[in-house]
Amino acid sequence: MYCDNDISRVLLTPQQIDNTVTSLANRISEDYADKNLLLVGLLKGSFVFMADLIRKLTVPCRTEFMAVSSYGSGTRSCGKVTITKDLSVNIDDCDVLVVEDILDTGITAACVTDILSKRNPASLRLCSFLDKPERRQVPITADYVGVTVPDEFVVGYGLDYDERYRNLDCLCVLKPEVYSDKA
């Protein structure tokens, strides 16, 4: 790995990731047979997971992406989350599945699902590749969770630190000195 010195350990190998995504895709394909599935990926973190997930689905689907930015760190208010890229379609007849890379405090997913629910989709669910329940600040659970992870700084498979490491094909724990040096 090009960044071996920055990584303290590998949490999920590419094979474990593949198995997890396959399992999620099978469940989603079963649940969304005969539905009007619209996957909404939250940028940027979800793009790798989203790409793998849709290629394992066996039901028709459409894909959209949204981006939000949060400001005022530590806030619990959805008023502090703004949409920086919105959907390009109406969702009022869609079975929307929001796709996250990780549920951390839960604020992003809670705000996005709140926004989307007001647009009257036929149904609205949440799928997160990773779940870090120890960090939760708002009461939200995903309908589909790949893997529950401990409260450590994870990177790879779309997740970044300072925009780096998203391209790692495994999920890794970052050494604390990598991010604490720059805090």
- Residue from 107, 130, 155, 168 that binds ligand PRP (CB under 6 A)? 107
Does position 103 bind ligand PRP by CB under 6 A? yes
Distances (CA, A) of 178 to 45, 152, 181: 20, 13, 6
Q: Are the C-beta atoms of 130 and 154 separated by less than 8 Å? A: yes
Coil, strand or helix: which one is 11?
A: strand
Q: Is 44 in the site for ligand PRP (CB under 6 A)?
A: yes
Q: Which of 152, 160, 173, 175 binds ligand PRP (CB under 6 A)?
A: 160
Element (H, E) at 180: helix 176-180
Among candidate residues 104, 151, 169, 181, the one labeled active-site is 104
Smallest distance from the beta carbon of 58 to ligand PRP, in angstroms? 26
Task: Kindly state whether residue 105 participates in binding ligand PRP, applying the rule CB under 6 A.
Answer: yes
Asked if 146 touches ligand PRP (CB under 6 A), the answer is no
Nearest of 70, 144, 148 to residue 112 by alpha carbon: 70
| Residue 121 contacts ligand PRP per CB under 6 A | no
| 104 noted as active-site residue | yes
CB-CB contact of 38 with 61 (8 Å): yes
User: Which residues, in sequence order, are CB contacts of 117 under 8 Å at separation 6+?
Assistant: 124
Q: Does 100 bind ligand PRP (CB under 6 A)?
A: yes
Stretches 10-18, 30-38, 39-47, 171-179: which one binds ligand PRP (CB under 6 A)? Answer: 39-47
Active site residues: 104
